[in-house]
A = this chain, B = another copy of it.
């Protein structure tokens, strides 16, 4: 019974996700679902990425958090439109929540909509939000064994961003190992390495995003 209920919920979510995607497509908005552990550096990555865009795209953000608005306040400071979702304890965003949050945004003013999901390397994996691309963020200090230990979320992602590479000299993280695991789980995925607070790798990532938005 439990499994049947879960399948029904997922099916309903997938239908709503398709509706979300259709609306984004109609408005010409490219949408990215950013997932990763708590503290992987998702918000810091977005701050650096938006700075790196240098006006070439107009971003907006939907911020998913269990509680509070710490991340939304950081994004707002950049002059980027942001809608905060508080899940009150729920462990992932779903398509119906995104549909509601999108009402707070004017798609005519947006080129790229970034959804920052709840910090969770497990539960976010099963829910299509209507995005065009799923980006999984893994920080160097989390360790290079995470794709092996949490395969579903890596398998379902289109791009892996390895963050906090400035900490590489202080850890035993092997970027080759995680890249190999990612390629095995998601052969077409792209992999980037970034130290967002220092700016390393940000220009390449920003150029890639501009390319993605222009050629779709």
Residues of chain A whose beta carbon lies under 8 Å from any beta carbon of chain B:
5, 37-39, 65-68, 70-71, 89, 91, 118-123, 139-143, 145-146, 148-152, 164, 166-167, 170
Known: A118-B122, A119-B121, A119-B150. A142 touches B38 (CB 8 A): yes
A141 to B139, CA, bound (A): 9
Name which of A91, A146, A164 has the most chain B CB atoms within 10 A of its CB.
A91
Which B residues touch A142, using CB under 8 A? Answer: 37-39, 141
How many copies make up the complex?
A: 2
A2 to chain B, nearest CB (A): 8
Closest to A142 in B: B39
A119 to chain B, nearest CB (A): 6
Q: List 4 additional contacts besides A37-B142, A68-B148, A166-B170; criterion CB under 8 Å.
A: A37-B121, A67-B149, A89-B152, A139-B141
- Which of B65, B91, B139, B167 makes the CB contact (< 8 A) with A123? B91
Known: A68-B149, A70-B145, A141-B139. A38 touches B121 (CB 8 A): yes
Closest to A148 in B: B68
Closest to A88 in B: B152
Closest to A138 in B: B39
A146 to chain B, nearest CB (A): 6
A166 to chain B, nearest CB (A): 7
